[in-house]
């Protein structure tokens, strides 16, 4: 059996590795258009501050490593087309320009997403996105060759926030541009007021309702008329699925995303898809579609796909809860379940603020939690913000939502208690009591 994987990072390489582990005979080829495979996208922002001390630590595997494991990884090879009738892909070797048609028995698509570059910033030499290792290299080279110590970050989503924090930690003067007044939009406005204060405390110049209209040399002009110093610009305004090469194929796309079933199959039986480019559904609200562009979902589905390819139908994908967590200057911001936009506006919720540990201990820290639920008590969405203990509550809730998920039954959950770790009635128990 010949298995071809398109995309050699999170979803693609994990599927290939899982398959190799299960199936010792399959011939596995991975085609990656970039220069690297299997690097830690999630760690890229942390190299900026040198929290990740060495760049080499971001590279988990090289093509040579994979070859030793019996996986043929071809970097600088872009897949241009898929013919599902002949079961072939057309692939271009970017260094030579040679194009070949290659047959497959099973095809796995993990092309990920591409960061959006704003029109006004295209062809601006100091303007970058940060999604791939080679883009981090370009940013670092630019900083060094131009002796930069100032940056403008455009966008305040997950990556914009991480990049901002890491440049601050590196000692850069940081300006953040947000096109409206809602920074980190996944979180409810009244739960994130501290974010605005914290940015100020950290010396970040936040420009709300602002957009860059043009850049001239190192100066950027905003829609407000203000002219900024912009010797380096990082654009983090979202991603689009990398599926243009599939547009003229029989593989179904919905708004550019690839819908998949419980085995990760597309509408074509022998073609699977995983990662940022797929469309699936929420686990707890299956009628609602969702794209979860995060690393852990790619890993979960890769396992299911690898097993299915090898003939094991025991494992099934049943959607994602879309759990996410973000570090923000000593605060943690976390959520699970429906996004703000997927939640009906009048959904009822319980708000609760409680210390992470016993109040008589040193340095208790408040956690603000909000759980939305339906008339049957099913938890639809949970949000947590605070300095300590947020990850624990998030992870307990996410696990609970995968099993029972009824808000009233939170009264019964058991979490370990001693004063340094929590309270006898944990924050999540308290929300259960409030819901009864």
- Nearest-CA neighbor of 26 among 52, 44, 1, 50? 1
Contact flag: residue 12 with ligand FAD (CB under 6 A): yes
For ligand FAD, the closer CB: 166 or 423:
166
CA distances from 397 to 240, 362, 392, 401, 429 (A): 30, 26, 9, 6, 11
Size of the site for ligand FAD (CB under 6 A): 33
Site for ligand FAD contains 364 (CB under 6 A): no
Cα three-residue angle 307-308-313, rounded to 5 degrees:
95
Minimum distance between the CB of residue 99 and ligand FAD, rounded to whole angstroms? Answer: 12
Q: Check binding of 73 to ligand FAD (CB under 6 A).
A: no
| Per CB under 6 A, 433 contacts ligand FAD | no
Choose the stretch contacting ligand FAD; rule: CB under 6 A; options: 63-71, 106-114, 253-261, 342-350. Answer: 106-114
Contact between 319 and ligand FAD by CB under 6 A: the answer reads no
Q: Is 42 marked active-site?
A: yes
Q: Which of 99, 125, 296, 425 binds ligand FAD (CB under 6 A)?
A: 296
Decide if residue 242 touches ligand FAD (CB under 6 A): yes
Q: Considering only residues 271-290, where is the footprint of ligand FAD by CB under 6 A? A: 275-277
With CB atoms as reference, the residue minimizing the distance to ligand FAD is 275
Closest CA to 157 of 133, 187, 117, 131: 187
* Contact call for residue 241 and ligand FAD (CB under 6 A): no
Q: Which stretch binds ligand FAD (CB under 6 A): 165-173, 227-235, 262-270, 294-302?
A: 294-302
Catalytic site residue from 42, 268, 325, 411: 42
- Minimum distance from CB of 96 to ligand FAD (Å)? 16
Q: Which of 3, 4, 5, 9 binds ligand FAD (CB under 6 A)?
A: 9
Using the rule CB under 6 A, which residue among 76, 208, 295, 343 binds ligand FAD? 295
What would the x/- binding string for ligand FAD be over residues 243 to 262, using CB under 6 A? Answer: --x-----------------
- Minimal distance in Å, beta carbon 207 to ligand FAD? 22
Per rule CB under 6 A, is residue 118 in the interface with ligand FAD?
no
Tell me how far apart the alpha carbons of residues 228 and 14 are, in angstroms, rounded to a whole number. Answer: 43
**Interface pattern 18-57 for ligand FAD (x via CB under 6 A):** -------------xxxx------xx-xx------------
Counting contacts by CB under 6 A, is residue 129 touching ligand FAD? no
Q: What angle do CA 273, 401, 355 make, to 5 degrees?
A: 125
The residue (of 8 and 155) whose beta carbon lies closer to ligand FAD is 8
Count of Cβ atoms closer than 10 Å to residue 30 Cβ = 28
- Residue 273 and residue 256: Cα distance in Å, rounded? 13
Question: Does residue 375 contact residue 434 with C-beta atoms inside 8 Å?
Answer: no
The position carrying tokens 């890993």 is 299
* Under 8 Å between Cβ of 372 and 337: yes
Residues 146-175 that bind ligand FAD (CB under 6 A): 159
Distance from C-alpha of 39 to C-alpha of 61, rounded to nearest angstrom: 7
Q: Does 332 bind ligand FAD (CB under 6 A)?
A: no
With beta carbons less than 8 A apart as the criterion, state whether 226 and 232 touch: no
Concatenate the DSSP letters of all residues of 229-280 into one string. E-SSEEE-S-EEES-GGGTTSSS--BTTBEE--TTSB-SSTTEEE-STTEEE
Residue partners of 156: CB distance under 8 A and separation at least 6: 164, 176, 178, 183, 184, 185
Q: List C-alpha distances in Å: 356 to 324, 389, 401.
A: 19, 6, 21
Q: Can you tell me the distance from the alpha carbon of 229 to that of 238, in angstroms, rounded to the nearest whole number?
A: 24
Q: Which residues are catalytic?
A: 42
Q: By the criterion CB under 6 A, which residues form the site for ligand FAD? A: 6-12, 31-34, 41-42, 44-45, 78-79, 110-112, 130-131, 159, 242, 245, 275-277, 293-296, 298
């Amino acid at each position: 059996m010949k298995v071809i994987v398109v995309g050699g990072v999170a979803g693609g390489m994990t599927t290939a590795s899982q398959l190799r582990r299960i199936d010792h005979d399959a011939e596995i080829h991975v085609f990656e258009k970039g220069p690297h495979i299997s690097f830690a996208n999630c760690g890229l922002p942390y190299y900026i501050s040198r929290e990740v001390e060495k760049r080499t630590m971001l590279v988990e595997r090289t093509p040579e490593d994979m070859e030793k494991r019996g996986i043929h990884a071809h970097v600088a090879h872009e897949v241009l087309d898929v013919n599902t009738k002949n079961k072939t892909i057309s692939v271009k070797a970017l260094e030579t320009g040679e194009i070949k048609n290659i047959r497959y028995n099973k095809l796995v698509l993990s092309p990920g997403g591409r960061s959006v570059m704003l029109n006004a910033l295209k062809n601006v030499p100091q303007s970058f996105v940060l999604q791939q290792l080679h883009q981090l290299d370009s940013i670092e080279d630019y900083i060094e060759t131009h002796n930069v110590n100032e940056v403008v970050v455009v966008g305040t989503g997950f990556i914009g926030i991480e990049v901002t924090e890491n440049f601050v930690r590196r000692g850069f003067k940081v300006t953040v541009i947000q096109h409206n007044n809602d920074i980190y939009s996944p979180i409810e406005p009244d739960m994130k007021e501290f974010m605005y204060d914290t940015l100020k405390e950290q010396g970040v110049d936040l420009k709300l309702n602002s957009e860059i209209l043009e850049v001239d040399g190192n100066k950027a002009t905003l829609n407000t008329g203000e002219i900024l110093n912009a010797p380096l610009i990082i654009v983090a305004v979202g991603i689009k699925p990398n599926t243009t090469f599939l547009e003229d194929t029989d593989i179904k796309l919905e708004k550019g995303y690839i819908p998949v079933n419980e085995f990760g199959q597309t509408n074509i039986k022998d073609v699977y898809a995983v990662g940022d480019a797929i469309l699936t559904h929420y686990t707890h609200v299956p009628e609602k579609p969702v794209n979860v562009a995060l690393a852990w979902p790619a890993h979960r589905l890769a396992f299911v796909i690898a097993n299915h390819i090898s003939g094991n139908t025991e494992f099934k994908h049943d959607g994602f809860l879309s759990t996410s967590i973000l570090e923000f200057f000593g605060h943690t911001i976390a959520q699970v379940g429906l996004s703000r936009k997927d939640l009906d506006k009048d959904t009822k919720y319980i708000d609760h603020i409680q210390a992470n540990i016993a109040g008589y201990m040193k340095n208790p820290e408040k956690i603000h939690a909000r759980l939305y639920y339906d008339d049957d008590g099913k938890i639809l969405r949970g949000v947590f913000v605070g300095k300590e203990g947020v990850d624990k509550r998030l992870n307990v809730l996410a696990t609970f939502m995968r099993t029972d998920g009824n808000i009233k039954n939170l009264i019964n959950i058991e979490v370990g208690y001693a004063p340094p770790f929590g309270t006898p009635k944990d924050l999540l128990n308290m929300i259960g009591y409030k819901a009864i």
